[in-house]
Structure 1
């Protein structure tokens, strides 16, 4: 009996040790590489790699890395898989993967990671048309942070909240969130960044500001931000998303030809990179446009060729 107790204690002690650093680095590096590729590589190509890596990592964590840092690695790859699923238009899988990422972050006992994954889920809810649930989740994400949290984390969450409040047409809350994001961006550049997130700069705040203003419906302000934000963006997919958000606002305000032209530009990127997220937004845009203009006819032709691969 004494030997059994000793073995049990030894097993519990081993289970709480930090995992092997070399193995951990090996299993986390692909996730970082996938994140860097995502903005300019087809989601169709990345999805199998992300899902396969998630399956592999689940087995490795269960067998060898059943410790906080192992669960943190799982959370990161599940969150990335969710993003790719959302880009491909699979909202059910995206929601499931985001929920997994939150659970794994909680198992990692890392409030900052929980905040990031819950905030990502909240932004996803806003983007699929459920801003009330998005705000609720973003509020929960914010409660995970404290004064010691990186300013990049707080700037990022403030930007997401601005977009959510823009969708709810709450100008006061949107403006307050944007002010907080602008105040926090670019502060403490030497501060350690989240390992799963790039530095959060004022340029990124401007990108979310454009989205928030477009969802709110302020054409004048959105036009000013758009004119300075888009030229500075080099990654095709994020740039196309900004264009289509702005185009939807233009269509709402009666600028149909300009909206159709931007929609055609975004659609080309969406098709090239297999982003159903972008393509779906373009379809929504087309439903808000009238017939009988050259720009709208060009957009219609491009939408028609979605069903004829030989045309691309």
Structure 2
């Protein structure tokens, strides 16, 4: 990258970020995480310390924030939530340094998501609200605003605020419906109808509204195809958990078995962790043919990266 000048530096980072996102959706972040961490250290880090002649420093900071956030998601997918949190923190600070409020809001959405995964719902709601404040002051952020409302909904569902969760989901749906023709701000993560349905399914599962949770999970499975393997697999696992709660154990086991066959093409500790959690529940169920078949498939999965959820002192917002 040192032989590039001016805008070429940022364009190169932008192209790399797009390529990483496409590969991440197809094969999962586990396999890509080391190379992204190396890219940040060896390519982007020197530019931040000594930018190439003619480069726009604010755009450089924004580009660096985008790739840093991607690294955070890959760390999360690898099971290393402590590193994911550090990357999201750094991405937020880089976005603020680059005076890119849309990208700062995007980082807030990622931090709120991680806070939910870490069972910190009050932090998740607070961070999502901060993100909404950043996003509404920027252009091209309607889909991001919808995403932030769904993060509020997830946090409120964990707290047990049924009315607040429903209102946040309604806000997200209304905003997303109006965002179809909008050109999104640069670097903002994609958020579409399937993304919303995926988060809504988890909200309704948390609130024990199983019929609606099942409907939303099946909607994601219908909408996700092609290279969106990981998203579809997560939806299958959500659906399997809904079916377990509904007492439909054999159906859950059949879906879990299907997810196992997909997992061999992914490098995602999160997927494997959720599969094993499902296996732990189904191991207590009567051993039908479907349950036995799923547990055998689960036992055949190769070991993946362990989880390293070391503590980080505080969120940056």
Shorter-chain TM range is: 0.7 to 0.9
Residue 28 of structure 1 corresponds to 14
1:238 paired with 2:231, answer: yes
Quote the offset at 1:182 in angstroms: 1.0
CA distance in 2, matches of 1:58, 1:147: 29
Q: 1:294 aligns with which of 289, 295, 314?
A: 289
Pair 1:75 & 2:65 matched: yes
The residue number in structure 2 matching 1:218 is 209
* Cα RMSD (Å): 2.2
Question: After superposition, where does 1:276-291 map in structure 2 within 5 Å?
Answer: 276-289=269-282, 290-291=284-285
| d(CA) in 2 for partners of 1:249, 1:207 | 13
Residue number among 52, 65, 84 corresponding to 1:94 in the alignment = 84
| Alpha-carbon distance between aligned partners in 2 of 1:244 and 1:164, rounded to the nearest angstrom | 20
Q: 1:34 to 1:156 in 2, by over 3 A?
A: same
Conserved in 2, the CA contact under 8 Å of 1:271 and 1:279? no
User: Equivalent residue for 1:227?
Assistant: 218
Question: Following the alignment from structure 2 to structure 1, what is the Cα–Cα distance between the partners of residues 62 and 137?
Answer: 22
Aligned to 2:93: 103
CA distance in 2, matches of 1:80, 1:198: 9
Report the CA distance shift for 1:205/1:298 in structure 2 as closer, same or farther (over 3 A): same
Aligned to 1:62: 49
Cα displacement (A) at 1:40: 0.9
2:250 is the alignment partner of 1:257: yes
Q: Partner residue of 1:52? A: 38
Structure having the larger proportion of residues in helix: 1
Query: Secondary structure of 1:109's match?
Result: coil
Contact 1:270 / 1:276 at 8 angstroms: preserved in 2? no
Q: TM-score, normalised by structure 1?
A: 0.85
Contact 1:121 1:134 in 2 (8 A): yes
Q: Displacement of 1:110 after TM fit?
A: 1.6
- 2:172 is aligned with 1:181: yes
Q: Deviation of residue 222 (structure 1)?
A: 1.4
CA offset at residue 84 of structure 1?
0.8
Deviation, 1:308, is 8.0
The aligned runs of 1:64-213 (5 Å cut-off) are 64=51, 67-146=57-136, 149=139, 150-197=141-188, 200-213=191-204
Q: Which has the higher contact order (CA 8 A, sep 6+)?
A: 2
TM-score for both structures, normalised by structure 2:
0.84
The alignment partner of 1:144 has SS state of: helix
